[in-house]
Amino acid sequence: MKNTFQFVKSGEKKGQLLITCDNKGNPTGTATRFDCHRGNGITHLAFMAFLLDEKNNLVLTKRAGNKSLWPGFWDTSVVSHVLPGETPKQAALRRSKEELAVSAEFKIFGEFYYQARQNDQSENEYCYLLSGKTEQKVIPNQVEISEIKIVNSDAFSEFYKRNLIKFTPWFNITLKKYNLEKIIWQKNIKPSSRSV
């Protein structure tokens, strides 16, 4: 299937309005992107989307060097904010087009609150987790992404362990909370035979 999307070239918009919320994800209003990330931040709605290609490989992305938070760190396929008037699924679709030039149907599989500080800024987010699949060729938007890595379920664990300290905090939290092999690749993980 052909890609028909145009990249957004502007990168981060400090004045963009984000949805503020409490740490359970209940919306409370809006604030600018700049205010949401300054200091300890204002809690706002965000998402992480895990995208599989037509061969069932996971697309990992390295954040561009111009990112204000965690530049050059590995991340999942698409990560961004849920904007006013959007659902997390709509936000994931919008950003998959803008960042990777692909379309996909996403499903929510989890959510959590976290805060992570870097220098004088923070991510302070209620984050929805989604998964989806595309048959289109992934083309990274260089404004957002400096590199991509395509990994199958067998190679993912090794790649993650080798690059552990260079993955974003929210990615690491996700791996502690959820079994990605079971959720993303829908593998039937056998329970341990060891008695507790």
Beta bridge partners of 125: 44, 114
3-state secondary structure of 166: helix
Residues of the chain falling short of pLDDT 70: 1-13, 187-196
Q: Which long-range contacts (CB under 8 A, 24 or more apart) does 30-34 make?
A: 30/84, 33/81
Secondary structure tally for the chain: helices H, strands E: 5, 9
CA distance linking residue 159 with residue 165, whole number of Å = 12
Question: Would you state the pLDDT for residue 61?
Answer: 96
CA distance linking residue 99 with residue 96, whole number of Å = 5
Contact partners, residue 113, CB within 8 Å, separation at least 6: 23, 24, 25, 43, 125, 126, 127
Q: Which one-letter DSSP state was computed for residue 38? A: B
Beta bridge partners of 71: none
CATH code assigned to 17-183 = 3.90.79.10
Question: Would you state the pLDDT for residue 165?
Answer: 86
By the 8 A CB rule, do 48 and 130 touch?
yes
Question: Would you state the pLDDT for residue 196?
Answer: 26
Question: Would you state the pLDDT for residue 194?
Answer: 32
